[in-house]
Amino acid sequence: MRLGAFSISLSVKDLKKSKAFYESLGFTVLGGNEEHHYLIMKNGNALVGLFQGMFEGNILTFNPGWDESGQNLPAFDDVRVLQAHLKANGISLDSTADTQTTGPAHITLKDPDGNAILIDQRR
């Protein structure tokens, strides 16, 4: 299974303070928009999403079709293929992608310890 770029999506209380903190660790802004209350920060291959007021808790995020720089990968496993694989292996999904569509879609699940996982295909 090719899950694409991995990041941790953090629910933050103060986007500006979090941005400054991660910049002090050597991260730079890769994407997002402060006016929309989120930023994607990058340091080497490490990605951290900062989201203020968008969800509770932290989420492990995978982006099929993207590399760590937000660039399109030439080949990737569609989220619907990943969904079928997970279901075939007895993994319970919290939300599913419509198998009658193509392009952007997402699925959500939890690991055995209750950690939220988002597989978010953006293209």
CATH code, domain with 31 = 3.10.180.10
Contact 11, 57 (CB under 8 A): yes
- Percent of the chain at pLDDT above 70? 100
pLDDT tier, 38 (very low <50, low <70, confident <90, very high otherwise): very high
Enclosing H/E stretch for 22: helix 15-24
Closest CA to 15 of 30, 35, 1: 35
**Residue type (1 letter), 69:** S
> How many independent structural domains does the chain possess?
1
Maximum alpha-carbon separation in the chain: 45
Question: Over the stretch 60-71, which tens digit does the pLDDT of each residue have?
Answer: 999 999 999 989
- Domain region containing 18: 5-121
pLDDT tier, 80 (very low <50, low <70, confident <90, very high otherwise): very high
Contact 96, 81 (CB under 8 A): no
pLDDT at 101: 97
